[in-house]
Amino acid sequence: MKKESKRAKPGFWDRVGIGLSGICAIHCLLVPVIVALIPLWPAFEEFHEYTHFIFFVAIAPAVYLSLRQRHQSPRITILLLTGLFIIFLAWYFNEILGEYGEAGITLLGSILLITGHWLNYKSKSKVSV
């Protein structure tokens, strides 16, 4: 009987990171539409104030755990850490950036994260095949 490994399969955290970053990107693209369509926006504004921080807190462990698994390209590390840092900056400077600036910068961070996770996932799937 084989002993089951408790470690995540190669690429698991990259798939989680791609999913979370994609949700974050979709959120940033839909906020302007939602703002225009919801007459009760002030009630949702309090919740929206924390969404980028919540995304940052959710994405950070996926980036960390993804980078813990062996990969060969420093480019991947730079993409993932830069994307995470940009999302943090968008949240931290949200008052200065405004609604659209925050969404645009967060979208940039999400694209960097998705790219980094995708490259990391592809490099691991080539190794394990």
Q: How confident is the model at residue 91 (pLDDT cuts 50, 70, 90)?
A: confident
CA 81 – CA 83 distance, rounded (Å): 5
Q: Encode 57-79: b = buried (16+ Cβ within 10 Å), e = exposed.
A: eebeebbeebbebebeeeebeeb
The reported pTM is: 0.71
pLDDT of residue 48: 65
Q: How confident is the model at residue 82 (pLDDT cuts 50, 70, 90)?
A: very high
Report residue 54 as tokens: 């919540």
Per DSSP, the three-state class of 35 is: helix
Q: Is the pLDDT confidence value at 77 over 50? A: yes
Q: What secondary structure does DSSP assign to 79-124, as a single string?
A: HHHHHHHHHHHHHHTHHHHHHHHHHHHHHHHHHHHHHHHHHHHHHH
pLDDT of residue 46: 64
Other C-beta atoms within 10 Å of 45: how many?
11
Ranges of each domain in the chain: 52-129
Q: Is the pLDDT confidence value at 2 over 50? A: no
Could you report the per-residue pLDDT of 26-69, keeping only the tens digit for each? 777 776 766 666 665 566 666 666 777 888 888 898 888 888 87
**What is the mean predicted confidence (pLDDT) over 103-120?**
89
Q: How many helices (H) and strands (E) does the chain have?
A: 5, 0
Range picked from 54-63, 95-104, 109-118, 120-129 for highest mean pLDDT: 109-118
Q: Is the pLDDT confidence value at 4 over 50? A: no
